[in-house]
Amino acid sequence: MFDIAIDKNQPVAEFYADLTSSASAVVNGEPDAIANMANVAALIWQYMPDLNWAGFYRVVDGELVLGPFQGKVACIRIAIGSGVCGTAAASGLTQRVADVDAFPGHIACDADSRSELVVPILKDGVVIAVLDLDSPLPDRFGPADEAGMVKLIGAIAKSLG
Ligand code: SME
């Protein structure tokens, strides 16, 4: 089994370095993308404070389809270009949203969500999925969270699709 212990209270750069090495260890040697997404969602959920949703949407037949996650039951299908996740998928750019109510077209799967971070996952230059993190706190995700999560996803992207 995995022996994971991450200090949630350490400086943010160190926190993401630890989270990234744990995520890399969890997916190491496992070819099944769904299993890897499930464990990475669980890892993030366990160690990142102040989240109400953490998980993946996969690109399937030209739309986003709900993948492994932790949190409340969520929207199953999102059109590419719609909401925060669809915008990340369409643009290939990370979306860091301080106030979801101010984001045009935000899809409120969980009414508790106040801020959101969505990181696209690319394979051979094509978006194959997105990681979606939601928080009940406004402006939960800062530039260091964005940089840390983009690095984490970059380190494990090959294991997610
Ligand atoms: N809020 C997202 C939808 C997914 S849920 O938050 C889980 C969006 O606008 O794309």
- Identity of the residue numbered 122: L
Cα of 17 vs its chain's centroid, Å? 16
**Which pLDDT tens digits describe the chain residue by residue (161 residues)?**
788 999 999 999 999 999 999 999 999 999 999 999 999 999 999 999 999 999 999 999 999 999 999 999 999 999 999 999 999 999 999 999 999 999 999 999 889 999 999 999 999 999 999 999 999 999 999 999 999 999 999 999 999 99
Atom of ligand 1 nearest to the CA of 103: 9
Atom of ligand 1 nearest to the CA of 106: 9
Residue to substitute in 134, 135, 140 for testing ligand 1 pocket (most ligand atoms within 8 angstroms of CB): 134
**Is the C-beta atom of 107 inside 6 A of ligand 1?**
yes
Say if 109 falls within a structural domain. Answer: yes
Atom of ligand 1 nearest to the CA of 53: 7
Based on the structure, what is the number of domains in the chain?
A: 1
Q: Look up the pTM and report it.
A: 0.97
Say if 5 falls within a structural domain. Answer: no
Say if 22 falls within a structural domain. Answer: yes
Say if 151 falls within a structural domain. Answer: yes
Say if 6 falls within a structural domain. Answer: no
- CATH of residue 124's domain is 3.30.450.40
Total residue length of the chain = 161
Say if 144 falls within a structural domain. Answer: yes
Alpha carbons 115 and 87: distance in angstroms, whole number: 15
Residue to substitute in 44, 109, 110, 135 for testing ligand 1 pocket (most ligand atoms within 8 angstroms of CB): 109
Alpha carbons 81 and 142: distance in angstroms, whole number: 23
Which range marks the domain in which residue 121 is found? 12-159
Say if 28 falls within a structural domain. Answer: yes
